[in-house]
Chains A and B, each alone.
Chain A
Amino acid sequence: MTALSLEAALARGDAIQVDPIVLTQLEAVVGKRNVATGIADLICYAHDIMPPSFKWVRRDDVPYLPQMVVYPGSTRDVQEIVGIAAYNRIPVIPAGGTSGTIGGILAVCGGIVVDMKRMNKLLEVDEYSLTATAQAGMLGQDYEDQLNMRGFIGGHYPQSIRCSTVGGWIAPRGVGTFSSKYGKIEDIVQSLEIVLADGSVARTKNAPRASCGPDLDQLFIGSEGTLGIITEATLRIWPAPKRREWVSYGMPTFEAGVRASRDILAAGVAPAVMRLYDNVEIAGAYRELGYGDAAGVEHGLYLGCEGREDLVELEVKIAHEVCKGHGGVLRPGLGERWWDKRYDTTYLKKAYMLPNGIGDAIECASIYRSLTPMHDAMVAAIKEAGAAEVFGHGSHFYPTGGNLYVIWSAFAEDEREIEGKYWRIMDAAMKAVLSVDGSIGHHHGIGVNKGPWIHLDAPTAWPVVRKIKAALDPSGILNPGKLGL
């Protein structure tokens, strides 16, 4: 099966003709109103926010249309949908908030999009065990709001929280902005329910830790719908913090900021937010806050500590000591400013809106000793490949290393050239990451966007993933074309 072009879809008429037996069977499972074959519904799934897809919108192109969309209301529905698809060898593409940056929902081989958003219930909050169980299609902000109403937090705050789903956090192995304290999604997930390629359902154990063989949660977290469809998740939750404090410093070099971050975590302090910006990216904030003399020179490090009041006080004290020890200059306001603007994505939008403009925020990860070299290598490579502007920051730090976001914008003289330029820059950036033994993805996932490079990320380990895929999905119906599979 292949993706439908708009022309092909229209040639088939308004209601795209699909296998009538399959259509009838799906309608019998979820009800007629929960199966869509009309062009307007199909177009809804023809792009996410992978930057080149904005260029498709601009040029009135719709290159990847599925044959139909199904809206399950229960795990049982998902089982039956996958069973029908498996029998007929039709690709199945799970979709949540459609807010991914990697083309994970694109029906590159055509097929059935399974939109999970009707499965949007918070099933249980276990206030004693500090866990919550939600259906995978629940919108992230909705999940957080419902926990907040009960005096708890989910601890997972991606910039996309208002447009992503719980399942969509887990599928690409996502991260929230408060990850240094609460962890990445793989640290927050405690148990999963997954529908497998044969329509059977697997439920992992809800236990904090176990010694019962490989951790199957970790197999499915980050599998991007290629090994199964996540239908429910049990996640850790926390009591709402009593206090939040910001610690903001100007650092003499990017490396000084990296070292300070390392030392703060090594001291046992776990700020919820840890963000280190290079001197280019932070310059605007410096000027806005009245630190103009240091704009473009200093690199900005800020930390958000939250939790119990006495612990926050201690964390702030240690953070100040460490930052000063690495030559930091106190720059109040940086953290608060970020908090106020944390959902603002105007920079990239401005580039997308220009006919000849594009950009991206490429995220990757490495151990501490490679972080600064990776930053420098990526900035140089992306510039060399033709970007107009490049800057970056680290926004997630761990005891042994962290991530980098390298953000760039580029323009082409001819609008038709811009997508080619995008992929040339991506290639340069990925090779720069690999040159310092970094990992090409930290939390957005791979999708189609980084698929060409995934086999180079851990070349000797990658074949294991292929073997697992072959074992779990022998017909290859689950989200084909993603994760390099």
Chain B
Amino acid sequence: MRIANMRERLEETAIDHVYYRAYDPMVRCVGREYTPNRAAQIALLVAAGRLQWTPDVVEAMYWSFNSRIDQIWNRDNSGEFFDIDEGEWDRPARADLVDAGKAPDWVRALEANVTASGNMYGLADDQGAVGRAKVLYLCDDITRAKAVTVASAIKRLLTAQGVEFVTLAKGTDGWGLYDLGLWELAEAKAKEYAGYIREVGATTVVANNPAVVYALREWYPKLGLEIEGEVLHHTEYLDRLGVSGKFSGRVTLHDSSYQGRYLGIFDAPRNLLKRVDGLELVECYFARDKANPTGPLYAFFDEGFSKQVAARRAAELALSAPVVVTTDPASKRNLGAVAEESGINIQDVAEVLAG
């Protein structure tokens, strides 16, 4: 069992003072005690043989979104001494669950879906990149399933800029599977995805899903999968191209967990928005690395909880502007689910630029 070898890290987390609690989405929005420190204590008890992987104990391992918001606030209390990164142990715990055949049904269903369709959303229209090009646009499965208008906008912008590119809209990068504990499948899918990318031979690889950028930059090298060429988030690439646009009105920007806390990309989306004629960017109360999450990246065991998280973030953003600009298909999906009731309009930065 992987977590049996992580006792010290689990103990540190379990006895932490949970000073980040006010910003932990499960506490803040759902009103439950589902913090990393409580989950760590439960994992400790499992590792010590005092608890079994019963269904509610299994669920506890999926309480965290791994958004790193806890980590950011916890540093105020402990500096680097108690650096909480729940992903460091809850991902291995989830992998233990999968190995033990104890993963929740929804994870198993996802696994079956990926095995059957090649991607996480059961999309049937997989389309590999055709030919070679200097620029490869990765239209990942969540974008294809939940934010297809973002992909269209990006393609229009690249075409307008005279960029010769091809689009890869096939398979899945694997990071979401890894996050949920399906490590074997995740690695297989990552290898497959890296192969698709290599076939194009691009010097610049652009993705609008920052989790994909993170996976390619940080996770693939750990798997021994090198990506030739520079991997960029679409905001970085569009900023580099000097793309501008027109818009009328006030917007605020939601910094997604992966774009912000994971990748540290804060300036590129702001630079782009500043170049849009007629657009007034109003920073929201929780911005940059302190931006509260909108919900889970891929999936979650309780849709009701997810929606509560999104509604709370939407309400915060609505205080700043009626239009919320996102940089991440998951944020667009999560906020989109509550947009009507929250009275906000959600647009990816690429959609704003494309008009």
Q: How far is the CA of A62 from the CA of B44 in the complex (A)?
A: 12
Among A57, A71, A98, contact of B44 (Cβ-Cβ < 8 Å): A57
Residues in B whose Cβ lies below 8 Å from that of A43: 38, 41-42, 45
Q: Known: A44-B34, A57-B14, A99-B18. Is A162-B73 also a contact (CB below 8 A)?
A: yes
Contact B17 A345 (CB under 8 A): yes
Number of A-B contacts (CB under 8 A): 122
25 contacts between A and B (CB under 8 A): A6-B45, A6-B50, A39-B51, A43-B41, A58-B15, A60-B50, A71-B32, A98-B18, A115-B33, A117-B33, A137-B31, A139-B22, A139-B27, A141-B23, A142-B28, A145-B285, A149-B285, A149-B319, A162-B21, A162-B22, A163-B21, A343-B76, A346-B81, A349-B17, A353-B12
Q: How far is the CA of A58 from the CA of B13 in the complex (A)?
A: 11
Confirm or deny: B355 has a beta carbon within 8 angstroms of a beta carbon on chain A: no
6 tightest A-B CB contacts, nearest first: A38-B56, A141-B22, A118-B31, A44-B33, A163-B21, A117-B31
Q: Known: A117-B27, A141-B22. Is A40-B60 also a contact (CB below 8 A)?
A: yes
Q: Which residue of B lies closest to A54 (CB)?
A: B15
Confirm or deny: B116 has a beta carbon within 8 angstroms of a beta carbon on chain A: no
Q: Which residue of B lies closest to A61 (CB)?
A: B50
How far is the CB of B13 from the nearest CB of chain A, in Å?
A: 10
Q: Known: A14-B54, A54-B15, A149-B319. Is A139-B81 also a contact (CB below 8 A)?
A: no
Confirm or deny: A394 has a beta carbon within 8 angstroms of a beta carbon on chain B: no
Q: Which residue of B lies closest to A34 (CB)?
A: B31
Confirm or deny: A120 has a beta carbon within 8 angstroms of a beta carbon on chain B: yes
Contact B11 A57 (CB under 8 A): yes
Contact B22 A161 (CB under 8 A): yes
Confirm or deny: B179 has a beta carbon within 8 angstroms of a beta carbon on chain A: no
Confirm or deny: A160 has a beta carbon within 8 angstroms of a beta carbon on chain B: yes
Confirm or deny: B183 has a beta carbon within 8 angstroms of a beta carbon on chain A: no
Q: Which residue of A lies closest to B11 (CB)?
A: A58
Residues in A whose Cβ lies below 8 Å from that of B76: 343-344
Q: How far is the CA of A249 from the CA of B319 in the complex (A)?
A: 42
Confirm or deny: A468 has a beta carbon within 8 angstroms of a beta carbon on chain B: no
Confirm or deny: A314 has a beta carbon within 8 angstroms of a beta carbon on chain B: no
How many residues of chain B have a CB within 8 Å of chain A?
42
Among A6, A149, A350, contact of B81 (Cβ-Cβ < 8 Å): A350
Q: Known: A44-B34, A344-B77, A353-B15. Is A139-B57 also a contact (CB below 8 A)?
A: no
Interface hub of A14, A43, A350 (most chain B Cβ within 10 A): A43
Residues in A whose Cβ lies below 8 Å from that of B220: none
Q: How far is the CA of A422 from the CA of B1 in the complex (A)?
A: 35
Q: Which residue of A lies closest to B60 (CB)?
A: A40
Q: Which residue of B lies closest to A350 (CB)?
A: B81
Confirm or deny: A49 has a beta carbon within 8 angstroms of a beta carbon on chain B: yes
Contact B45 A49 (CB under 8 A): no
Confirm or deny: A64 has a beta carbon within 8 angstroms of a beta carbon on chain B: no
Within 8 A of B (CB), among A22-44: 33, 38-41, 43-44
Q: How far is the CA of A99 from the CA of B37 in the complex (A)?
A: 12
Q: How far is the CA of A117 from the CA of B33 in the complex (A)?
A: 9
> What does the 1/0 interface line of B32-64 toward A look like (CB < 8 Å)?
111000100110110010110011110110000
Q: Which residue of B lies closest to A44 (CB)?
A: B33
Contact B17 A99 (CB under 8 A): yes
> What does the 1/0 interface line of A36-75 toward B look like (CB < 8 Å)?
0011110111000100001001101010000000010000
Interface hub of B11, B21, B34, B48 (most chain A Cβ within 10 A): B21
Residues in B whose Cβ lies below 8 Å from that of A286: none
Contact B78 A349 (CB under 8 A): yes
Q: Which residue of A lies closest to B41 (CB)?
A: A57
Confirm or deny: A352 has a beta carbon within 8 angstroms of a beta carbon on chain B: yes
How far is the CB of B228 from the nearest CB of chain A, in Å?
A: 44
Confirm or deny: A359 has a beta carbon within 8 angstroms of a beta carbon on chain B: no
Among B20, B33, B304, contact of A162 (Cβ-Cβ < 8 Å): B20
How far is the CB of B241 from the nearest CB of chain A, in Å?
A: 36
Residues in B whose Cβ lies below 8 Å from that of A98: 18, 33
How far is the CB of A165 from the nearest CB of chain B, in Å?
A: 9
Q: How far is the CA of A41 from the CA of B58 in the complex (A)?
A: 12
Confirm or deny: B298 has a beta carbon within 8 angstroms of a beta carbon on chain A: no
Q: Which residue of A lies closest to B77 (CB)?
A: A343
Within 8 A of B (CB), among A188-219: none
Confirm or deny: B351 has a beta carbon within 8 angstroms of a beta carbon on chain A: no
Q: How far is the CA of A58 from the CA of B55 in the complex (A)?
A: 24
Contact B77 A60 (CB under 8 A): no
Q: Known: A115-B31, A350-B81. Is A40-B304 also a contact (CB below 8 A)?
A: no
How far is the CB of A213 from the nearest CB of chain B, in Å?
A: 36
Contact A349 B73 (CB under 8 A): no
How far is the CB of B36 from the nearest CB of chain A, in Å?
A: 12
Contact B15 A14 (CB under 8 A): no
Within 8 A of B (CB), among A127-154: 137, 139-142, 145, 148-149
Contact B81 A57 (CB under 8 A): no
Among A45, A58, A140, contact of B22 (Cβ-Cβ < 8 Å): A140
Confirm or deny: A110 has a beta carbon within 8 angstroms of a beta carbon on chain B: no
> What does the 1/0 interface line of A446-465 toward B look like (CB < 8 Å)?
00000000000000000000
Residues in B whose Cβ lies below 8 Å from that of A145: 285
Confirm or deny: A10 has a beta carbon within 8 angstroms of a beta carbon on chain B: yes
Q: How far is the CA of A140 from the CA of B50 in the complex (A)?
A: 35
Confirm or deny: B82 has a beta carbon within 8 angstroms of a beta carbon on chain A: yes
Confirm or deny: A97 has a beta carbon within 8 angstroms of a beta carbon on chain B: yes
Residues in A whose Cβ lies below 8 Å from that of B27: 117, 139
Among B17, B32, B285, B304, contact of A117 (Cβ-Cβ < 8 Å): B32
How far is the CB of B285 from the nearest CB of chain A, in Å?
A: 6
Residues in A whose Cβ lies below 8 Å from that of B96: none
Q: Known: A10-B51, A62-B45, A149-B285. Is A40-B56 also a contact (CB below 8 A)?
A: yes
Within 8 A of B (CB), among A282-341: none
Q: Given contacts A38-B57, A353-B12, could you give 6 more A-B pairs where the C-beta distance is less than 8 Å?
A: A40-B59, A60-B48, A99-B17, A344-B77, A344-B78, A346-B77
Within 8 A of A (CB), among B297-355: 304, 319
Confirm or deny: B79 has a beta carbon within 8 angstroms of a beta carbon on chain A: yes
Among A54, A148, A344, contact of B79 (Cβ-Cβ < 8 Å): A344
Contact A352 B15 (CB under 8 A): yes
